Amino acid sequence: MKLVILDRDGVINHDSDQYIKSPEEWKPIPGSLAAIARLNQAGYRVVVATNQSGIGRGLFETDTLMAINEKMLKALALVGGRIDAIFFCPHTNADNCECRKPKAGMYKEIAARMNVDLAGVPAIGDSLRDLQAAATVGAQPMLVLTGKGRKTQDNPALPPGTPVFSDLAAAVAHIVR
């Protein structure tokens, strides 16, 4: 199975330091939805792995997250794309859970549920924690410069061999070439 793992905020949609707390605040990054559709057309299954600590912080409820994701899925369908599964961690750092990136719990759950070895699987993110979680399970971390990516690019803890792309469309063009 061909698989790609994406972070959501800062990769698919514009991020906010105040969190994306409603469907109205969710705005796709230009080209991101078409890039996901391109992956689908090339035979890739696409899953999202996203930290959503706004739930744990009491900024929004799980139902609101589901409404935000529904908006994303509908917008994606309009351009001929789909996301096969969305995995999320609702916890804060203080919860010290195993699912919050940079820990690899969400990635291990993806491997188990999709019955796939994540070795070499492209995992695209904009933050160091996305890339660290991917590297922990042997996936191929890929950095996009959207969202927090420009700041992440200069971090000395960036996993070795992480390719850097301007945005999701550029990363997908590299994957499906």
User: Got the DSSP string for the chain?
Assistant: --EEEE-SBTTTB---TT---SGGG--BPTTHHHHHHHHHHTT-EEEEEEE-HHHHTTSS-HHHHHHHHHHHHHHHHHTT---SEEEEE---GGG--SSSTTSSHHHHHHHHHHT---TT-EEEESSHHHHHHHHHTT-EEEEESTTTHHHHHT-TTSPTT--EESSHHHHHHHHH-
pLDDT in tens, 73-127: 999 999 999 999 999 999 999 999 999 999 999 999 999 999 999 999 999 999 9
Q: Is 9 a catalytic residue?
A: yes
pLDDT mean across residues, the chain: 97
Mean pLDDT of 58-69: 97
Q: How confident is the model at residue 20 (pLDDT cuts 50, 70, 90)?
A: very high
pLDDT at site 1: 86
Domains in the chain (CATH in brackets) are 3-176 (3.40.50.1000)
Q: Is 95 a catalytic residue?
A: no
Mean pLDDT of 47-54: 97
Active-site residue, from 9, 126, 130, 167: 9
Active-site residue, from 7, 15, 126, 167: 7
pLDDT in tens, 141-161: 999 999 999 999 999 999 999
Question: With 90 as the cut, is the pLDDT of residue 32 above it?
Answer: yes
